[in-house]
Chain A
């Protein structure tokens, strides 16, 4: 100790051991590799691509791996106008995702139907899916989507994952 207070983990003092709760460790793994499923249906998908590209760089959060297979993804980002013709397809893709899974409704259309008060547009994807976060905007800027994804990370880090496992087993 050179007169400087060590606040972080010091392997010289404590050895190669970190003590934590299993739940905290699992959530920590999960929240840093949330793989999105880009359910890009309209212009919001362009902002979603912007969020994934170099300027906004989703890779900082471990979310750059956009999976087009629902079986390999954790969060479905519904980016765009959900028409009734597409609604059951979106629902089926959600059902094919493995647990744990989350949904972000990106933009006005996915959240409420947006300006499409019409015969052909589903008035909010929450009519068919359980939505975790709504992102306002038409389309939202990439920062807004990042905010939702960071909030999702907070949510994931507080999940009672062991209780869920016991229920399933």
Chain B
């Protein structure tokens, strides 16, 4: 089955729950209209469509729009060698959707990362803690309204943070005129 076949089977089973198919360079993307029903859609994709791998879950901050959050699920079927992408929107007031850990155990750490970076909660998750930042860090650093340089925080005995000096950009460097041979220090300089 191709990505298009997977998508059309999922559409046939779920009816109005999923939107129309978007295809781009052979990749199939479907939008799930109700975020709270994402587990049943994925359960069908895993069992009936053999999407046995959950490759990734990511989140998008559509800052200033509604719904603010988009959650993207990247599925793969080893049997059909085909990808399928599911998207769903979650409003800022809600900022919560059900976990997929009971469909794919791999969802556990992906969802923890989204909770850590974006502050979107996954109801029913067995262990919803921060995964990269430390417990007690008060911000969600991948949100669009969080400054790139960071903010001042202090959690005694655990960690502190300070804003980084941006100096006009995230990373500024000017290329030199010299070629690599003159620029780089080498152990041996007697090259031909």
Contacts and interface: CB of A to CB of B under 8 A. Distances in A.
Contact of B160 (A87, A118, A123): A87
A117 B149 CA distance: 6
A120 B149 CA distance: 9
Contacts, number: 54
A120 B171 CA distance: 15
Contacts of A87: 159-160
Interface in A81-111: 84-85, 87-88
B12 interface: no
Contact of B185 (A88, A113, A123, A141): A141
Given A84-B159, A141-B185, A117 B166 contact: yes
Interface residues of B, number: 25
B159 A118 contact: no
A115 interface: yes
Interface string B23-66: 00000000000000000000000000000000000000000000
Contacts of A131: none
Contacts of B187: 141, 143
Interface stretch (B14-22, B75-83, B121-129, B150-158): B150-158
Contacts of A121: 164
A119 B148 CA distance: 7
